Every structure is written in structure tokens, then in C-alpha cells.
Structure 1
Amino acid sequence: MRLIELIDNLIKLFKTDPDYHFFHLDGQTIVLDDYLQVRPENRSIIKQLTSSGKLQVGPFYILQDDFLISNESNARDMLIGHREAQKWTNHMAKVGYFPDTFGNMGQTPQLLRQAGLDNAMFGRGVKPTGFANATSSSDDFSSKFSEMNWVGPDGSKVLGILFANWYDNGKEIPTEKVAAKAFWDKKLASTGRYASTDDLLFLNGSDHEPVQMDLSKAIRVANELYPDIEFIHANYNMYLDQLRKDLPKNLDQVTGELTSQETNGWTTLANTASNRVPIKQRNTEVSVELEKVAEPLATLANVQLGKPYPHDQLTYAWKTLLQNHPHDSICACSVDEVSQEMQTRYMKSEQVAKYVAKESLDELSQNINTNEMAHEQGAHPFVVFNTATSEKTDTTVVEVPLEQVVFNPNKDDPKAIFDELKQKPVIHYQVKDADGKIVPSTVLDVNVKFGFRLPKDQFRQAIIKRVARIRVYLAKMKPLSWMTLRLVPQAKTSDAHLTKKNEREIENDYLKVTVEQDGRLTVLDKISGHTYHHLMQFEDTGDVGNEYVYRASDDPVYVSSNFKNDVTSLVNNDYQQSLALTIHLELPESMNEQLAYEQQAHIDYRKRTAKRVKQTQSLDLKIELVLLKDSPRLQINLNYDNQVKDHRLRVLFPTDLNVKNHYADSIFEVVKRPNQVSAKWKNPENPQHTHAFVNVHDKTRGLTVSNYGLNEYEVARDGGQIAMTVLRCIGEMGDWGYFPTPGAQCQGPQTTKIGLEFHGATEQGRLETFHHAFASQVPFSTVFPEWQNGKLEMNATWMKVATGAVKTTAVKVQEDGEGVVTRSYNLTDKAVQMNNDLANYQAFASDLLENAKSKEPERLTLQPYEIHTTLWKEQSKK
């Protein structure tokens, strides 16, 4: 509602004050969508103001937090933002605009360059330091000027501009001369202190700030007070044009990600990665459903069958998802109402993605030639798709419809139908592939349940169906492929349990995992021969911080090895072994009343003295440890009901290594980060961001810890331990006042997925663990075709994508055209061949905005750390 008032006032101001020239809409286009929901009658006025350049829009859709959203979410924010801005104006603000992002990803220069932008403006990440603006040679993330060259890991360079005096250094400018003189004397000195030129930038606005209606008068007064200085009401494009003319040659250079590495460590705001963990998990879930399931399936249906690609539906889903990605939203440093609304948006985006995926699967299902496969009596075909762009080994649970009855609720007796199906004898089944080979599987149950269909050409249909719920094991399924299977009756079950020597052990050809008496794990990596000890220790501490910052209370640390545990065998067959481990923690219920006082009195979190109460609360960690036959990855599934407040729960994995650096999955980059901190660092913690994995290795071996929606980790300064934050519970927002957030205590059932994998000395082995982490986040998709003839083969890899040193993040149809778009990046610091291939299509280099950069097809070689968008054109249409 305050936004509506702001733009209403702007319209008045532009109409009545000819000297008020420009207003920058914060780098976003979404604000116009929001405004026009309430003021649709003003669309033509907004169009006139944007077309004339008075209202400056773009280049993004929203101002995102780049570290906490996926690779593709970052790319689509730029793509959608550019497309939306072009609807309004030819005067888009050509600024890589990150005023308040909590750190800046290392690949920003390359992404901006690929979107046609050559600059980045940001408020955090780099620190101007030193007497007389001098910087030390050891300050790799400092600059003597607010202007600098920012170079990405691939060598892409943009002009970086730090808002050294913050993005509100020109707000509320006085118009009375005495006050104005005092204001400008101070502002000119503080801003000029870091500027490399005489072109000083003052930003007339801030958070929650209304439009300054008398700005033109304030500028006239300033020009009167300082006749040797020219004050201009400008826009960013004008500023950048003038600045580039005056820049000196001795600008400092900063490289890679900018996360305030040269500060005291308390204001990096990296702990926003661990608050409201369920929000982050839902973001992973919906992002995967949209970009890793719906889009590839819709592209497959388009390429193979000519089904129209649902651009509008997917754009709606993307916009809805991106609306959860502003930095204060996905960082969850807001009041509870913000996070509650995010959950609604997640549901909306997810429903559209699932609908698109189902429509595509239905089309594919109707065209797969299942008649090529043997028809045993009572057999039921089904097809599994791997839409991940990495090879995948996993199980999937499918519900195969054995028979179904369509009924009319107003005429038929559903109970009679239900009972008739329920009373049918249970038949034993096995799964076979198209060649008749038995596929490992387990029949979990056979049930009767309600279902429905919504036909395109008639009224809805109610169904009662009898389904067999089957766990199917699929080994090393290729990326972007499908496989046709069939459920076949058999005389008796073959799911016999194997003999085990030790009920606290599981084992396959790669690993031997033992649950020790204290609940920690000992793992023998059979490939390297190394044994890892004391893995999976849970650690719980009190937290007197807030949604922005974790700060441990001065209380004892609780570790899981000091509590009782129970172990039982869950599954032990020819393709899976799993154990159930329950650790019975007893933790303090919360912090004491002192914390509430310190919060309300707005006492700095670093000075708080609150303690945890003596009353305890049970927290049972229910852990499923899973090993699959052909997988070197240990899957750790954790479930628990959190009723404890004001605490942080982490899981620790000792590495038995001593190294200086580690590696993590960041945005379009496997980033190398130092374990040690700057000498200026005062925070005892060194939290970092990740998406899919963290890796620590030396020249002989290493381990990769993967996750699902857990974005915060820390590696010990000697490299000897990886700590993943599982949950962080706090009761206030923090920042500039007291805002209680009971929802951030994350009370209730919680689910966590973690993976553990080891590798030897080769880079190939290490990269395989990364791809296994990527693939673990993408579920299999399943359809149930009839016995039929069809134009599609029973088994196929419909697009070849490179793995190894290459990761593909997008498979979609071009926004303005008929081509297929893929986006891939180099996981390494060495040039690699990208052997992607799409039958009957030729590959052309493209920019991020899906414009072909050449008229000739190319052979794809990725340079170190390169991000490559490829436009595939059908040979007959090129």
C-alpha cells in the first residue's frame, strides 16, 4: 500500500515539477505489476513515464538473494526482467543492481556480461579500508576507491561500484540553506573520500522511504551554496556514461565472490542461510519441480511430438517462484507474515509446474510403443523418466494401477465397488524391463483408493482403483532418458531377506557402514581403503542471535554421542540395505527470560548474556541410513519433531584431513573457498553458502557431503570437519528494532536429507560425487501407458548432455522462437569439451537472453568456469 502511495506521488510530481526528471524503480519490474493490480486505470500513464525514461525500470524482475536461489533462478530473474522491461521502454536501466544483496556470487561478472551489462553496483561484500584510503596488498577484497574492476573466475570483467556510504546517502536533502550546508559538507566529504573521480553519486531514497517531493528545490539550493560544484538530477545510465570518461587507470581489482571476507565477520549475514530451514527446503523442492522436471518434460514433448510448449504457464510459475526470492524473503529475515505468504506462492508455482509435467507425461505416455514388449497375462506397463542432467541411481516408489472402475457418485454404490476390489486376492509381482530382465523391486502393498480424471472433452470422472505400490531400483539411469518396464504376476515373491552378520552394519561393494555404540558412524571406503571415524555427530547449541546472525549462548554444547540410541534393521535385500537409528536427545526447552528482555531492550546480540533453561525437552532424531547396491553414496534421512526453541542443530562429519581450502556448489560454480579467515575476522563462526554439496579433499582422497535444502555449512579452519546446519530456531527478526518472529522457532515435524560419499585421488572420481549430489535432488517421473503402438521407442536417451566436468542446468524451449535452449557450465578450472547432442538439431552459441551470437553452428568447448547458453535449431528450420 505504501508503494501505491509512492507511485501516485511520483505521477503528481512528474506532472507538476518539470525539474523532477527521473525515478529509479530499484532495478525491478515487479513493482509495476504490483502497482497496476490496484491502479489498473493508470497503465497508460505508467507506459508514458517508462517510455520517456522518467520511470527507470529493469534489468531484473526482482532484487534477489543470489546465493540462496538456484542457478537458473538467477538466470531467469535476468531473462524475465529484461523481457518485462522491454514491454515498457527502450530506456531500460542498464545496471547490474545489487544494492543490499547479502554478499555477491563470484559469477556475477560473467552473468552480467552475458545479459549485455558491463557494470555492477552493490552495497556489500567489499570494504574500503585504510588511512588515506590506502589498502594493504593482503586485502584481496578491499578497494581504495568505491569504483573498482570486478573479475569473475572465468576472467569476465565489469566495472564494480560500491555504495561505500550506503544506498541512502542522498536521502532527505534539506532545502533550508543552513541545514543544507551542514548536510552537504558532511556528505561531500564522506562520499568523496572513496571516489576515484569528481563524479559523486548520491541516492535520494532508502528502505520505507517516501518520495522527496521538494527534491528539485533541494538541488537548486545546493547549486546556490556550492557554485564550483554542479548538482544534477540524473539517472544511472547518465552517471555511468560520465563516470567512464573520468575513471583513472589505477583502479583496484577484486576477484570472485564478494562476501565481506575482509571484515570482522559479524555483518556478512550468512546465517540467513540457516533460519527458517523449511522455507529453504520448499524453495529447493519447487525450483527442482519447475526447472528439472516440468521444463525438460515439456521440451521433450515439444521436440519429439510437436506438443506446443507452455511458455505462458511456465512464465507464470517462474514469476510466482521469483516473488519469493527477494533477499529479505528467501533469506527469511522478515516477520512471520512474509514467510506465510511465501508458502502460498510455493504452492501456486508448484501446482503449475506439476500440471505442466503431467500434461507432458500424458502426451508422451500415449505415444510410447509398449507393444514392442512381451505381453505376459496380467502384466502392466509403466515408464520411468530421469529428467536430471546427471546419471541417477536410486529407488522410486510407483503406484501401478491394476484395475479401476469409473463410477457415478449419484447413481453407483461406491462402497460395493470398493469392497469388491478390496476382496480380490493379492498376487505376487515382479518387475521386468523391455528385454525381459528382472529389475530389482519390492511390492510394498496392494490397496484400493479413490482417484479421478479430468478429461479435456467431458465431465470429470470419479474412479475407484486397485493399485500396487512398488519400490523399484534403477541403477545408473542416463540423464534425460526414459525406460519402459512392466509389472508381471509371479507365482511367489522373491523378496527374500539376506543374512546379516551384524545388525548395526550395512554394506555394499563401495562402503561398509557401522553404527557405533555412541550412535556415530564408522565408514570403510573400500575403494580407497581408508576408514573414517566418528561421522554424523549431532551438535546442539543455544542461540541468542536473530534471523540475520547466529550467536552461541554461553552454555554447554550438547552432542549426540552422549545420549542413548536404538538401532534396528529396516531393509536387507539384494539391492538395498538400510538401518533405523534413533538418538534420544534431551535438550533445554529454550533460553531463559533474560533473552526476551534483551530482545525487547534491543541489546546487541554480541552483548547478550541469556542462558538456556534447566527444563529439558525430548528430541528424538529418527535416522534412516540407506545403501544401494550400485551406489557409493550413503543416504541419511532424518525425521524429528522439534519442540525446542532458541537453538541450532548441526551434524558434523570429521574428514581426517588437513587442508587449507574446500569446495562447494555455488551459483554456476564449484567455488574454492579458504578455510582460514582474515586476521580482521572476530566472529568465532565462519558460515558459508551451498546448494547441493560441500567437498574437502587432499591429493589422495576426500569426501563430499550433499544435502537437500540445507544452505549453510562450515568447514573447520584446518579442514578437519564439515558441519551442516540442520535447523536454527530463533524468536526475533533483529536488525533495526524488536520484531518478534515465533514462526522462526520452526516448531513441529522436520525432515532432512543428507548424503555422504567418498572419493580417491582422481578429479574424475571427485566430479562423480558432485553429479550424484545433483541427481539426488531430482525425483524420477512415472507414467502408466496402455498396451499400444506408438511413435516413441520404449527406451531412449532423448538428448545427450555432457557430465564429468560439465553440468547442464537448463533444458527448455526458446522464449521467442522454436529452438531448444540449454545452459551448461564448467565445474573446473580447465577447458573441457562439451559433448552435448540433440538429434536433427545444430548448436549455436547464445547469450543469456537467448539471442544467437553467430550464424554458424559451433563445436562446444567450455573454457575454465565458463557458463554457456546453447541455442539448438532444428536442421530443417535453421
Structure 2
Amino acid sequence: MKRVYIVPHSHWDREWYMPFEQHHMRLIELIDNLIKLFKTDPEYKYFHLDGQTIILDDYLQVRPENREIIQNLINQGKLQIGPFYILQDAFLTSSESNARDMLIGHRDSKSWGKHMVHVGYFPDTFGNMGQAPQMLKQVGLDTAMFGRGVKPTGFSNSTSPEDKFSTEFSEMKWVGPDNSSVLGILFANWYDNGKEIPTDPIKAKAFWDKKLTDAEKSASTDDLLFLNGSDHEPVQMDLSKAIRTANELYPDIEFIHGNYDMYIEQLKKDLPKKIDEIDGELTSQETNGWTTLANTASNRIYLKQWNTKVSKQLENIAEPLATIASQKTDFEYPHDQLRYAWKWLMQNHPHDSICACSVDDVADEMITRFKKSNQVGKFVADAALNKIKGQLNTNKIPHNLGEIPFTVFNTGTSNKTGTVIAEIPIKKIKFNPNKDSSEKIYQALKNENTPKYTVYDDQNKTIPAEVLDSKVKFNFDLPKDKFRRAYIEKVIHVKILMENMKPVSWKTFKLVPLNIDSKVLQKNSMIHDGILENEFLAIKFSKNGTLSVTDKQTGHLFKDQLCYEDTGDLGNEYVYRAPKNSRPIFSSDFPNKIVIKENNSFVGKVEIKVKMRIPVSMNKKLKEEQEEHLDYRLRTAQRSGRFTDFTIQTEVTLEKGSRRIGIRTSFDNNSMDHRVRALFSTGLQTKEHYADSIFEVVKRPNSVSDKWKNPENPQHTHSFVNVHDKKVGVTISNFGLNEYEVDNTGKQIAITLLRSIGEMGDWGYFPTPGAQCLGQSVVDLGIAFHGSNEESRLQTFHDAFAAQVPFTIIKDEWNDGKIETSGCFVNVPSKEIKITAIKLQEDGNNVITRQYNLTNHESHKGFVIGGYVPYKSNILEKQFDRETANLKLQPYEIHTSVWRKK
């Protein structure tokens, strides 16, 4: 007998074509109706809360008085909850964000009881990450359900019988790059194939005849799944009657009001011995290429930049500093504050949010959430730094004539070379705003002569440094046991070079007045005869504004680096679409001006300024085609005949000891309906390339499927994209620029810097003037080069990781303490691994590290925390057996360790 499992649900996008609170109020109505239905209809058994525990928080925020009712429904298994906190977009959120979604979701689910749904649930994720099987297995899940990645899914979530997908059946074996595998279940007829089931026998017969036929085409068993609901779908109040009608109409089929766990349990019993296998990422690469939705990585880039900033603030600044402080002082690790910050951040991670395919109000609210999360992260970091500052043993550094100590931290988990600007107070005067004249204090400090300074390290050696300026400003302290204290201070800004600073380390310096020690750093220069160079690279600035770079270690010359390309865009927030028969506009076709901005012994900076002429927008026809809701592939609008200036300013920076060229690009966008990319020529011919993905350096083919119709092949990245052959390679790094494209031959890498579009897209016409991204933008990139050996290639990856985490500086006091003035919390000698987390155990006080293998071969974990013993763990941070410090990581392995003090 065939079994039809009907699972009621509502796919709950918290925000999308309406702002959050508009959807929120409808959620209240939905759950209120559910409560009523469970109370009045004993046959109504289950409702799936879309795999995300945040729905419970959202409901109880408005209906706190119903907590006991919700708890009882969960205890009875009627409300099916978890296992995630939110339904995140996998590719645009960091590795740790994906892990924390699982960790916090499991933790919240368990707090409600034992009825968590045991399914890795990705109903509408815009592609699925390759490491999902390994991550799911680590949290005790062996089944994944998803709607995209192996079959074309069009707008309005439409599918058609002609659509082909990569497996014979909707049930498949999904294998990750480390060979972890789970049962994969595709929503072949989408997650709304059982919505609005008729109760009238005639209508029900017509409904089920078609639906059963469609489902049977892709099912490998007689167990058929129908999802009773869709996006924000209200509860079907007469579902029990509809199921009774179906059972009466089809006596040879059992229609069951079920849940996912019931369905999967039976399905596993009935699966054929052999089902098709799919490997790694599921990104619809075997389709026509129009509905992969990868262009969501390039719209509203300011949101992606914010996401990178806040993710790094939590993962690589606040948590490592809080961990160091908790282990070396009496600082109490702020579990609740950090979890609160993570939740604010993750509320921006659903696919319609971080993918920025929503109305303008959603983007506006996201900025507020980013700021909230960032503020908490900064508060935690500052509190930890204050504790560390009080315990640094600065008195061991010679000082007696007015020196000022300060400490620089590299809180990232990769070696870092770069300049840092430290703001150092040299004098401050407290004042009472109600009694003292702040104006007199301000003017006195301003008129006081500022000594000249140089910088020494804690070994009394001078280091490359430059005092930039001085400033008088208001500031205040907030003592833990007293009222706030206001003061006016005079500060100086000092630029210093940090060379090859170890991961999670710190180093203390002293600012020395030159009238005490007259040694002055000799000022050499890094720019000679128009060439900017250090010990690794030599950069020549071409007449057309591009760069030619010689890698001194290989002797290879890389020409035509950094040309800007502008094209029209008549697509939407989901998909880029160039106008037919249009040609790109290149910055190299316009005059440019090159100016030296900085030139000393440790940094050289050159500005390239080019004024392009580009159309002001698409022509008027685009607006009409948008209002008609004409498919973007059928639009015929062209770029306007009116032109405007588009000025791009590029700062090219090279620092002493660095293998990476820093690029900061700024522009004031006053044009609409267009895309801007930075183009880099590799000069290489390859069939594949590599990119930073979720817990993986993923290898992707340059060429597309024979079925591919989209002239573009956009891809996702977080930190870098790399193209190399057997001799040399190029790594392009970025900050919050998540979309790139490598051409079929591997000769060119394109990074999207801006995409201006005026509508949301999908199932209706939703204008989004905010998505035109008018006004000033600043974006950061980098170029690095390497030779044939793996170590040099991995170094460029770590340089890309390090570039995303700024140095942290504190101004110290002279005191006795237990913490050495220079130290390293984690010893990481191997470049083959990447540490993504240094924190304390979620429900404990042991140190947690999470790391993964950057390579496709066995790798030594190769790092230790002095004075601690490691134990094997998993994403849920449960402690297992003790392990040795020289643990070997298997290819692509994600490994979590619990470190206990000896």
C-alpha cells in the first residue's frame, strides 16, 4: 500500500516582500490559529515550525502569556521544532555562522524538551554548501531535505515536468568532500506540493490524481511526501477533513497526517539498496544557469560588508579576547552577551535577508541589527581588554622618563603583516562639566607643544613608525563602582609596521619622546622611478591605469592587473542581466592621474584616479518592462543615451614584509541600473580554480554545463579566489565582496564591486530604489602571487584571512602583572589548517577551538595551547576522548577540540 505523508508547515521568511513586522504580525495570527486548531480538532496532530527555533521567540515576544501553551504542545510533539536557530543562506554566511546556527538551534531546541526534528532542513537555501553532510553528521543528523541545487527552480518557486535534475529519484546519497554522507531528499515538486488540499470529493479527486502522478515520477519508494503549506501560508483549518476525504477516495492508499521523523523512518526501511550519489556543493550547475540565484552575492554590497565586519568582530576579536582574559585573569566569560550578539547577527542571515532580495525596509532594519550585534561585540572586547591591560607586566620594560606603553593584538588566527594606526593619549585632564571650563582645558592642551616621538618594542629596539598628527578631544571613563568621569585628552596617531605577527598574539611597545632618546628612524622610500616595491613584489603603473607586477620570488611578470568594467543591468536583486548587444565600458579607455600618497621605509601608497563616462541609467523602457513584470530574460531595454561622470579612486598599498598588495577603491555612484567589476588578468590557462567556501577551499570548474544558457557564471566566495597552474598562481582577496567570476580559460578573475538595480524581482513588481546603491562606496581588495609549492599558495590564503581582521590596540599603564608583555595564546606552526573559533564551551568553561583542513591531503593539526590538554569534540561541543597534540586532520576535515587546563 502506498503511504502519503502530509506534513503541515508554513515556510516562514521573517522578512521579504514586506518588512519584518508585517510578516511578524501574520506569524502571530498563524500560531494563534494553530493553538485554536490543536484545541478544537483532536485529529490535527502535527505542525512543522520550518526548522527554525526563532519562530518561538518571535511569537512569544508578542504573546508571552502563551508560553505554557507552547511548551505543552511541544511536549506532546504537536509543534515540531528545530534543529536550527534560523534558516540561513549557506554561502553568504561565514563558516562559524553556519556552525553557530546549528549549535544555538540545538541548544534552544533542547531547552524546550526532547521533540527536536532530526532533519537538516534547507527548503529554500540558494544552493547548498559541500560541507553540509559532515556538519550534519557532527550534530547527530543523517538526513538533509532541500529544494534547490540539483534541479532548476524558477521564480515564484515554480518547477515543471520538463525540468531535469542530477539524480534519478528525489532520494539520493549526498557525499561531502571528506566522504561524510547523508540521505538527501529533494523537494522535487517544491515544498508546497500539498497546500490547500480540497475537502470536496470531486475537487479532491482532481487534485490528488495530478499530485500523486507528479510525486510518483521522482519517488524511489511508495512513501510519498506532501507539504501542506507554502511561503507564509496560513494554517489549513480543515486539513483533517481533507485527509478523511482522501482516504475515502483512495482505499488502496494510506493518507497520514505525519511529520518528517515519521516519514524518514519509513522511507529508510523502503529505500532501494542503491540510489544515486551526488557530491559536494549543490548549486544547480547542471541547469540552464538562470536560476542559481548566485547574483544575490553582489546586490546591496554594503550589507555584505557589514556582515563580514560583524562576523569578524564576534569570531576573531570579541571571542578570542574574552577567552584570553578568562584564562589569564578573573574575567568572567560573557556567554549570554555573546549569544545575544550572535542571535542579532544571525537574524540577518536568512536567504531573503543576507541575499538582499527583499524590499528596502528590510535592508534598513538589517543595518540596525548589524549595529546592535557589533556594539555588543565591541563591548565584550573592550571589557576583556581592560582586564588584560590591568594584568600586563609592563613594569619589566625599562621606563623612567615619560614613556607611554601600548599593546597591539593580532586576534586573527593567521599570521598578519601590516601597518596599524594607534591612537595614544599623551595627556588628559579630568573635569566636572558643571564646574570646570572645558573650553579653557581644550585650548590649553591644543596650544601645548607636542613632543616628537619614536617607538620601541619591549626588547628596547626601535621599530618602523611614523607619528601622523595630534588631536584634542573629549572622552570619558565609566568606572564599575563610581559615576562617570569626563576628561579632555590630547592624543597622537602613530603608524607602525607589524611584521609577520603570529596568530592570537600580542606585543607591547613604548612611545618614547625624542628629547629623551635622540635616535630617529631613517626615512627610506619604497617608491623609486615610478616603481613601488618591497622585498617580494615590484609594481609598475601602466599608462592605462592598470598594474604590472613582478613576483620577485618566481620572477614571473603579471600584466594588466586591475581594470574596471562597467555594464548595464536590466535584471533584479536575484539575477544580473546585461542588455542585448551592449558592450562593456573599461577604465583603461579613459585618462588617469597617478599620485604618490605615502612613501617611506615601511609603506608605499599610490592613488590612481580615473574619470569614466557611463550611461545615467537604462532607458525608460526598463521601467515599463518592470511594471509589466516581464521576465528579465525577455526584456529589450537598452542603456540610456545620456552619460555622466563615474570617478574611481584607487589606493594601491604595499607594505614592507608583505606578499599582498592592498587595494582600496572608492567611487560616488550617481548612475543606476549597472554593474561595476574589477578585472584581474592571471595570464594562465587552467580548467579549474579555487575559492574560500564554508569550512573548505573548494575546487570549481571554470567551464559550465552544456545545458547552461546564462552568459554569466557567477560564484560565491568569502575571503579569496585563486587561479594557479603548475608554476605560479594569483590569489584575489576581498572584504565583503562575495561574488566573482573566472572565465572559461582561467585567464581572468572578475570581482563585483557594485550592482545597482531597481526592483526586487520574483513573483511580483516590488520597486527597490535603495538597491541602486547611490552615493559613496568604499571597497577593499588585495592581490597576492605564489610559486609552485603548496606552502606559498597557502600563505596567500592566510594573507587573505588576515586582511579581514584588523589589529586591536590598547593604551597600557605601567604596572606589575601576571601576563607577559609579548605572548601567543595559540601556537600555530602549520599553514595547512585554518582555525575558525577560539571561545569557551557553550555550557562550560573549557576552551573550544574549531579548525579545518585547507588541503586535500592528510594534515597535522599542528597547534597547541600551552598548559592545556585537548579532547576530541564536535560542533555541539560535547567532550569525547583525549587526543594528542600532533593529531592528523583528514582531507577537508572539520575538527573541534575541547581544551582543559592541566
Name the SS for the 2:254 alignment partner. coil
Instruction: Trace 1:104-253 onto structure 2 (pairs within 5 A).
Output: 104-127=128-151, 142-253=166-277
Q: Deviations over 1:176-205 (max 9, x none)?
A: 011100000000010110000000000001
Q: For the aligned residues, what is the CA RMSD?
A: 1.6
Query: Is the Cα contact below 8 Å between 1:128 and 1:144 reproduced in 2?
Result: no
The equivalent residue for 2:654 is 627
Distance 1:500 1:769 in 2: 22
Distance 2:676 2:546 in 1: 16
The equivalent residue for 2:572 is 546
Tell me the CA shift for residue 857 of structure 1. 5.8
Query: Is the Cα contact below 8 Å between 1:317 and 1:353 reproduced in 2?
Result: yes
Name the SS for the 1:672 alignment partner. strand
Distance 1:200 1:732 in 2: 38
Q: Residues 856 and 394 from structure 1, CA distance in 2 versus in 1: closer, same or farther, beyond 3 angstroms?
A: closer
Q: Residues 128 and 531 from structure 1, CA distance in 2 versus in 1: closer, same or farther, beyond 3 angstroms?
A: closer
Q: Deviations over 1:34-66 (max 9, x none)?
A: 000110100000000111110000000000001
Q: Does 1:32 align with 2:56?
A: yes
Letter in 1 for 2:598: V
Which range moved further: 53-62 or 487-496?
Answer: 487-496
Instruction: Trace 1:432-831 onto structure 2 (pairs within 5 A).
Output: 432-491=456-515, 494=520, 498=524, 504-554=530-580, 555-831=582-858
Letter in 2 for 1:116: G
The equivalent residue for 1:294 is 318
Q: Does 1:283 align with 2:307?
A: yes
Name the SS for the 1:353 alignment partner. helix
1:843 to 870, 889, 900: 870
Query: Is the Cα contact below 8 Å between 2:526 and 2:602 reproduced in 1?
Result: no
Q: Deviations over 1:559-605 (max 9, x none)?
A: 00011111111111111111011111121111111000000000110
Q: Residues 733 and 352 from structure 1, CA distance in 2 versus in 1: closer, same or farther, beyond 3 angstroms?
A: same
Distance 1:504 1:281 in 2: 33
Name the SS for the 1:230 alignment partner. strand
Q: Deviations over 1:346-390 (max 9, x none)?
A: 000000000000000000000101111010512100011110100
The equivalent residue for 2:399 is 375
Letter in 2 for 1:842: V
The equivalent residue for 2:12 is none
Query: Is the Cα contact below 8 Å between 1:504 and 1:579 reproduced in 2?
Result: no
The equivalent residue for 2:47 is 23
Q: Residues 539 and 813 from structure 1, CA distance in 2 versus in 1: closer, same or farther, beyond 3 angstroms?
A: same
Letter in 2 for 1:544: L
Query: Is the Cα contact below 8 Å between 2:393 and 2:820 reproduced in 1?
Result: yes
Letter in 1 for 2:77: G
Letter in 2 for 1:807: K
Instruction: Trace 1:848-859 onto structure 2 (pairs within 5 A).
Output: 848-854=875-881, 859=886
Q: Deviations over 1:622-643 (max 9, x none)?
A: 1111111101111001111111
Q: Deviations over 1:788-840 (max 9, x none)?
A: 11111111112223541100000000011221100000001101111221122
Distance 1:570 1:851 in 2: 53
Q: Residues 791 and 668 from structure 1, CA distance in 2 versus in 1: closer, same or farther, beyond 3 angstroms?
A: same
Q: Does 1:400 align with 2:424?
A: yes
Distance 2:828 2:282 in 1: 31
Counting aligned pairs with the same residue, the percent is 58
Distance 2:579 2:548 in 1: 31
Q: Deviations over 1:613-664 (max 9, x none)?
A: 1222222111111111101111001111111110000000011000100000
Query: Is the Cα contact below 8 Å between 1:429 and 1:493 reproduced in 2?
Result: no
Q: Residues 503 and 351 from structure 1, CA distance in 2 versus in 1: closer, same or farther, beyond 3 angstroms?
A: farther
Distance 1:366 1:89 in 2: 43
Q: Does 1:271 align with 2:289?
A: no
Tell me the CA shift for residue 845 of structure 1. 0.6
Distance 1:653 1:501 in 2: 23
Name the SS for the 1:232 alignment partner. strand
Distance 1:802 1:229 in 2: 62
Distance 1:371 1:498 in 2: 33
Query: Is the Cα contact below 8 Å between 1:504 and 1:568 reproduced in 2?
Result: no
Distance 1:110 1:80 in 2: 18
Distance 1:805 1:675 in 2: 25
- Identify unmatched segments of 5+ residues in structure 2: 1-24, 154-159
Which range moved further: 6-15 or 525-534?
Answer: 525-534
TM-score, normalised on structure 2?
Answer: 0.95
Letter in 1 for 2:265: D
Tell me the CA shift for residue 500 of structure 1. 7.2
Instruction: Trace 1:58-137 onto structure 2 (pairs within 5 A).
Output: 58-127=82-151
Distance 1:498 1:371 in 2: 33
Q: Deviations over 1:516-563 (max 9, x none)?
A: 111011111111111111110100000000000000113231100011
Query: Is the Cα contact below 8 Å between 1:569 and 1:580 reproduced in 2?
Result: yes
Which range moved further: 606-615 or 330-339?
Answer: 606-615
Which range moved further: 358-367 or 637-646?
Answer: 637-646
Name the SS for the 1:536 alignment partner. strand
Query: Is the Cα contact below 8 Å between 1:272 and 1:331 reproduced in 2?
Result: yes
Which range moved further: 421-430 or 821-830?
Answer: 421-430
Q: Does 1:415 align with 2:439?
A: yes
Letter in 2 for 1:718: T
2:451 to 408, 427, 437: 427
Distance 1:313 1:769 in 2: 34
Distance 2:200 2:118 in 1: 35
The equivalent residue for 1:330 is 354
Tell me the CA shift for residue 858 of structure 1. 6.5
Query: Is the Cα contact below 8 Å between 1:730 and 1:744 reproduced in 2?
Result: yes
Distance 2:829 2:128 in 1: 28
Tell me the CA shift for residue 855 of structure 1. 5.4
Query: Is the Cα contact below 8 Å between 1:58 and 1:82 reproduced in 2?
Result: yes
Distance 1:831 1:541 in 2: 44
Query: Is the Cα contact below 8 Å between 1:579 and 1:626 reproduced in 2?
Result: yes
The equivalent residue for 2:8 is none
Name the SS for the 2:802 alignment partner. helix
Query: Is the Cα contact below 8 Å between 2:830 and 2:863 reproduced in 1?
Result: no
Name the SS for the 2:255 alignment partner. coil
